[in-house]
Amino acid sequence: MINAGAFVYSTGGHPAVSRQDPLVRHIRTHDMFRFLFSRLGLLIPTFFGVTLVAFSFIRLLPGDPLDLLAGERGIDPERKAQLMAQMGFDRPLWEQYLDYLLNIFQGDLGTSFASKKPVLDEFLTLFPATAELALCAIIIAVCLGIPAGIFAAVKRGSVADQAIMGTALVGYSMPIFWWGLLLIILFSGILQWTPVSGRISLMFFFPQVTGFMLIDSLLSGEKGAFLSAVRHLILPSVVLATIPLAVIARQTRSAMLEVLGEDYVRTARAKGLPPFRVIGFHALRNALIPVITTIGLQVGVLLAGAILTETIFSWPGIGKWLVDSISRRDYFVVQGGLLLIAGIIMLVNLIVDLLYGLINPRIRHN
């Protein structure tokens, strides 16, 4: 957590007021709650918007699940009508939508047409795999992206700066599918350093407790399981991290450059503070504000990237599940899955907004 006191100085806000003052603390708490409620208030219309988009998106696509199930043979129109009625798809769309909404409030997202299992159960089974992959990817992206961005900013115009930014541009433009396959051929095929795909070696077989393979492999107590899970996670995480890493590195660089030109940094330097303190303490804390927003926005990018990454690495997550369901016109899975993913993105953005508000007083005062 970033110390609010630093921003009294950095923003030039109220240098005369002590942060211990109870009145100031009260105002800050009040501001924070007002900010929280305003953000929460926005979630309600967004939620309804998402339900409407998720519901209509899959129904606007041509084709229906029965035609696809019947394939080249086709299905008798009378029988098709009977089955559509059986599944409730013959009713007016508004009625189906209302049903969908009512069921959401009862925690029922419907049943998959393909697997015949509740959509929520399927999501909960698959989501930990995607979450584990996305978390590892974002950790890689942050841990490499921020230092790279800082380094490039500090060494602005140098060969290192150009090399880092050039690499970031390449990373940002990288076609994920091609990149994943290239890494598999090199590291799994030729060098044989990493396994080709999957989450863990097939010789390990233990109960799923959390769904997070790194944790479950540790809980299993089986020798070598954790290491196997780590080895399986490396390539897909790197592939998924590529674009966010590039974005974070570029964002950090530009934010740092802006901050490094500020008066207070010059003042800190003039005071004779060592460079690492000026950069790592005075400059970075302020430069991180836009970077945090960028990291929050990467959640959507990660989930979109997960679709391709999961397909390449046979990763049993929600990305591939959703794509398969779209091609099968599995209405309930698509509308339920989209809603849950949108919910996660909204939640992450809310947290980022709050965090942003917390570390940047100007935002919550406005």
Partner 1 sequence: MKMTKALKATLLGVSLATIAATGVSAKTLVYCSEGSPEGFDTALYTAGTTFDASSKPLYNRLVEFKRGTTEVLPGLAESWEVSEDGLEYTFNLRKGVKFHTTSFFTPSRDFNADDVVFSFERQLKKDHAWNQYTAGAAWEYFDGMSMPDLIKEIVKVDDYQVKFVLNRPEAPMLANLAMDFASVLSAEYADKLEADGKMEMLNQEPVGTGPFSFVGYQKDAVIRYNAFADYWGGKQPIDNLIFAITPDAAVRLQKLKAGECHVMPYPAPADIADIQADDSLTMMEQQGLNVGYLAYNTKVAPFDNKNVRKALNHAINKQAILDAVFQGSGQAAKNPIPPTMWSYNDAIEDDAYDPELAKKMLADAGVSDLSMKIWAMPVQRPYNPNARRMAEVMQADFAKVGVDVEIVSYEWGEYLSRSKAEDRDGAVLLGWTGDNGDPDNFLAVLLGCDGVGGSNRAQWCNDEFQALIEKAKTVSDKAERTKLYEEAQVVFKEEAPWGTIAHSVVFMPMSSKVTGYVMDPLGGHWFDGVDIAE
Phi, psi of 165 (to 5 degrees): -70, -35
Question: Nearest approach, Cβ of 178 to partner 1 (angstroms)?
Answer: 10
**What is the rounded CA–CA span in Å between residue 352 and residue 333?**
28
Phi, psi of 272 (to 5 degrees): 85, 20
Question: Nearest approach, Cβ of 360 to partner 1 (angstroms)?
Answer: 41
**Between residues 283 and 333, which has the closer beta carbon with respect to partner 1?**
333
Which of 99-107, 142-150, 199-207, 343-351 is the region at the interface with partner 1 (rule: CB under 8 A)?
Answer: 199-207
Interhelix angle 159-173/225-260, rounded to 10 degrees, is: 120
**What is the rounded CA–CA span in Å between residue 25 and residue 23?**
5
Going by C-alpha positions, the residue among 139, 239, 143 that lies closest to residue 188 is 239
Does the footprint of partner 1 cover residue 52 (CB under 8 A)? Answer: no
Question: For residue 261, what is the enclosing H or E element?
Answer: none
Question: Nearest approach, Cβ of 134 to partner 1 (angstroms)?
Answer: 16
**Between residues 75 and 363, which has the closer beta carbon with respect to partner 1?**
75
Q: How many residues bind partner 1 (CB under 8 A)?
A: 58
Does the footprint of partner 1 cover residue 206 (CB under 8 A)? Answer: yes
Does the footprint of partner 1 cover residue 90 (CB under 8 A)? Answer: no
> Two tokens at 297?
């926005």
8 A C-beta contact, residue 160 and residue 151: yes
Binding flags for partner 1, 59-88, as an x/- string (CB under 8 A): --xxxxxxxxxxxxxxxx--x---x--xx-
Query: DSSP labels for 295-353?
Result: HHHHHHHHHHHHHHHHHHTT--SHHHHHHHHHHHT-HHHHHHHHHHHHHHHHHHHHHHH
Does the footprint of partner 1 cover residue 179 (CB under 8 A)? Answer: no
Does the footprint of partner 1 cover residue 324 (CB under 8 A)? Answer: yes
Does the footprint of partner 1 cover residue 99 (CB under 8 A)? Answer: no
> What single letter denotes the amino acid at residue 155?
K
**Between residues 45 and 71, which has the closer beta carbon with respect to partner 1?**
71
Question: Nearest approach, Cβ of 148 to partner 1 (angstroms)?
Answer: 30
The CB density around residue 247, as the number of other CB atoms within 10 Å, is: 22
Binding flags for partner 1, 115-134, as an x/- string (CB under 8 A): xxx---xx-xxx--------
**Binding-site member from 311, 335, 349, 360 for partner 1 (CB under 8 A):** 311
CB-side neighbour CA atoms (13 Å) of 359: 18
Residues that bind partner 1 (CB under 8 A): 61-76, 79, 83, 86-87, 111, 113-117, 121-122, 124-126, 181, 184-185, 188-189, 192, 195-199, 202, 205-208, 311-314, 316-317, 320-321, 324, 327, 329
